[in-house]
Structure 1
Amino acid sequence: MPFEIGIYSFGELTPDPVSGQVISPQTRIREFIEQAEVADQAGLDVFALGEHHRSDFAISAIPVVLAAMAERTKDIRLSSAVTVLSSEDPVRVHQQFATLDLISGGRAEIIAGRGSYTESFPLFGYDLDLYSELFAEKLELLMAIREQHPLTWRGRHRAPLFDADIAPRPAQDKLPLWVAVGGTTASAARAGSLGLPLALAILGGAVSRYAPLVNLYRESARQAGHDVAALPVSINSPGFVAPTTRAARDISYPYFDRGMLENFHQRGQGFHTPRKAYDAQATLAGGLFVGSPQEIIDKILYQHELFGHQRLLMQLGFGGVPQKHMLKAIELLGTEVAPVVRREIASREASRSTSEVTK
């Protein structure tokens, strides 16, 4: 597949680091719709939204917002990032995203994960002690719904299904389903053994330490009999783009720092990110994609040498970077970064194919 570049957001409602004002959920959602329209026009491949169930986030109903985006866009794929499957009903998830797929003309995707925020468990009556068990079973059911219609299925944590008509069916043959992994070897191995694409979150640290995880994912897929070449890997990381290095860091840092303090996991458990640490993570070997277009290009290509991945999703402007800066960053990412990266990676892959043929 051609290399894809997209953006994602959790929809955080973070107090502005200067004024202290908090944007309204209505305004935030309208901004996302405008961002999706600009991203589509700029040639980006994916726009994804994360699910949260707290008052400091604007989005709990991902497919509803993505459906609004679908009516303002033509080509960009629309995805969750992530659907917290452990506390969702897979039948309803499939119905909602299949409906989105019909509205968008076959552009819907699901990135399913366990999620690092846990407020949805008590909200929907799930036992947090079953965190992993619920995800495993519900992922199995969601996969079965994609493959079989009608469906007969039985598990431990929901009523069985007998010859169930789960409708509507999507415009695509089946909904693309990715598994989100935050860095655990067990999760990467499971995604590989199931033969599902991997969405790997890299939120900081040296990116090279994640290479063994990607290798484990592919080896697990190979051992399970799956075609590894047909299983894409996505790297998902925070970042921001501006015309210069200084502008990218100066604009984004105050919002990132405030976002980590206010919105990271449960209230009151966030932390400050020192500016030196932020700048260090924005260097080539660090986990943040913050810089000029050329720096972002260099970093994607550096990581492609490590991971051989097929997609980058950037958590653009975490913490609520103002809309005027976000729209400019989206344009830069789509018009100056993406074309160069696609050409370079296509050239690399063509060279490798030629080398393999001549061996």
Structure 2
Amino acid sequence: MEIGIDSFAVNLPAADGAGVTAAQRMAQLLEEIEIADRAGIDVFGIGEHHKDYTLDSAPAVILAAAAARTSRIRLTSAVTVLSADDPVRVFQDFATLDLISNGRAEMVVGRGSSLEAYPLFGHAMPDYDALFTEKLDLLLKVREHTHVTWNGRFRPALTGQGIYPRPAQEVLPVWLGVGGTPHSFARAGALGLPLMIAIIGGGFERFRPLVDLYKEAGRHAGHAPEQLKVGVHAIGFVAQTDQEARDLFFPGWARMFGIAARERGWAPPTRAQFDAACSPSGAYLVGSPETATLRARAASEALGGVSRITFQMSSGENDQAAMRRSIELLGQEVAPAIRRAGAKGTS
């Protein structure tokens, strides 16, 4: 199992009104990716949002800067809001990233749970799924062929133009990011794309029927079982003890989910909700290295085997020392323990 980190490049002022500039926060983010590279983390993902408190509207640019400062870690979006973008340009951006990183680029594409990109780029919400269906089709054709002839509803036709540059990898990895919609799981299986499931609430086991649907759709379409990889994106944070991890992460979590609650009309988040999500029956990977290891293994078992788990460590607080230490613990203690357990399980 690969272990990764996802970031949304959050930059909120501190509770006392102080804070860092956007440039300083970006420098911190690049430092986090460097630390993850040195610590042995397998993959680092940057989300895509277009909000006043996030700095990740252009993830490929951030990842390219990180590529020049790292040597082994894989670099991916988490996720690219493909419905609101031009698939040709997305492919060019990530093919360029692949060349800069010497073959370490990937992308996770999806419709996005934050919807601000749609009006920003002139798209209508009733076209939410039609946009994604058409643009995913084009992205996969561009990935397969340098010269593409294609016609669609939302973008001018292609009549055999060459699309450059081509990536360093023979096939640029594209994962399909999904939430809880059965159609999305079935689509990923039918296309034979690896699946990245965003799990931010409830328990891991409730997604097992959807994973089974994904694998069945893939088998029905003739894709090999090893092609049908499953990944999990879950909220996570590591400290020396469970209590320390919860106490460090909760204030920033409460700020982030408080913003989401106001935007979406939810009730304000509580500490009791957070602690429940961190419990063995919840879906958070927050705790000591031992707890994070057990929770990651439990998630994999609940879903019938997982190829990758990424810890969503973005927080409304900017405790950079705690973040650095969490990344180091994840790479130096959690990831090796998970790999040892996996090796024993296959021996």
| Structure 1 and Structure 2 fold alike (TM over 0.5) | yes
**1:235 matches 2:222:** no
Q: Deviations over 1:145-179 (max 9, x none)?
A: 01112111111211111112000000001210000
Residue pairs, 1:315-354, within 5 angstroms:
315-350=312-347
Residue among 132, 135, 150 paired with 2:132: 135
Residue pairs, 1:282-301, within 5 angstroms:
282-301=278-297
Aligned residue for 2:273? 277
Please tell me whether the aligned partners of residues 317 and 326 of structure 1 are also in contact (alpha carbons under 8 angstroms): no
Q: Summarize the Cα distance change of 1:303–1:238 in structure 2 as closer, same or farther, 3 Å threshold.
A: same
Q: Summarize the Cα distance change of 1:266–1:103 in structure 2 as closer, same or farther, 3 Å threshold.
A: farther
| 120-129 vs 177-186, greater mean Cα deviation | 120-129
**Structure 2 residues not aligned, in runs of 5+:** none
| 317-326 vs 227-236, greater mean Cα deviation | 317-326
**Structure 1 residues not aligned, in runs of 5+:** 351-359
Aligned residue for 1:253? 250
CA distance in 1, matches of 2:209, 2:316: 30
Q: Summarize the Cα distance change of 1:153–1:268 in structure 2 as closer, same or farther, 3 Å threshold.
A: closer
Structure 1 length normalisation: TM-score? Answer: 0.93
Aligned residue for 1:9? 7
Aligned residue for 1:225? 222
* Counterpart AA for 1:298: L
Q: Deviations over 1:260-280 (max 9, x none)?
A: 112x28747465321122111
Q: Deviations over 1:176-223 (max 9, x none)?
A: 000000111111111111110000011011221111111111111111
**1:193 matches 2:171:** no
Query: What secondary structure, in the 3-state scheme, does the structure 1 residue paired with 2:106 have?
Result: strand
Query: What secondary structure, in the 3-state scheme, does the structure 2 residue paired with 1:106 have?
Result: coil
| 89-98 vs 272-281, greater mean Cα deviation | 272-281
* Counterpart AA for 2:301: E
Residue pairs, 1:75-86, within 5 angstroms:
75-86=72-83
Query: What secondary structure, in the 3-state scheme, does the structure 1 residue paired with 2:177 have?
Result: strand
CA distance in 2, matches of 1:341, 1:301: 7
Q: Alpha-carbon deviation of 1:20?
A: 3.6
Please tell me whether the aligned partners of residues 242 and 328 of structure 1 are also in contact (alpha carbons under 8 angstroms): yes
**CA root-mean-square deviation:** 1.4
* Counterpart AA for 2:277: Q
Please tell me whether the aligned partners of residues 239 and 318 of structure 1 are also in contact (alpha carbons under 8 angstroms): no
Q: Alpha-carbon deviation of 1:317?
A: 4.0
Residue among 52, 67, 72 paired with 2:69: 72
Moved over 3 A (4+): 20-23, 265-271
Q: Alpha-carbon deviation of 1:106?
A: 0.5
CA distance in 2, matches of 1:327, 1:231: 33
CA distance in 2, matches of 1:23, 1:261: 21
Q: Alpha-carbon deviation of 1:285?
A: 2.2
Q: Deviations over 1:303-325 (max 9, x none)?
A: 12112011000101432341110
Q: Alpha-carbon deviation of 1:133?
A: 0.3
| 52-61 vs 191-200, greater mean Cα deviation | 52-61
Query: What secondary structure, in the 3-state scheme, does the structure 2 residue paired with 1:102 have?
Result: helix
CA distance in 2, matches of 1:268, 1:153: 38
Please tell me whether the aligned partners of residues 79 and 112 of structure 2 are also in contact (alpha carbons under 8 angstroms): yes
Q: Alpha-carbon deviation of 1:48?
A: 0.4
Q: Give the number of aligned pairs.
A: 346
Q: Alpha-carbon deviation of 1:24?
A: 2.6
Aligned residue for 1:151? 148
Q: Alpha-carbon deviation of 1:69?
A: 0.5
Q: Deviations over 1:216-235 (max 9, x none)?
A: 11111111111122221111
Please tell me whether the aligned partners of residues 9 and 314 of structure 2 are also in contact (alpha carbons under 8 angstroms): no
CA distance in 1, matches of 2:279, 2:98: 38
CA distance in 2, matches of 1:281, 1:170: 40
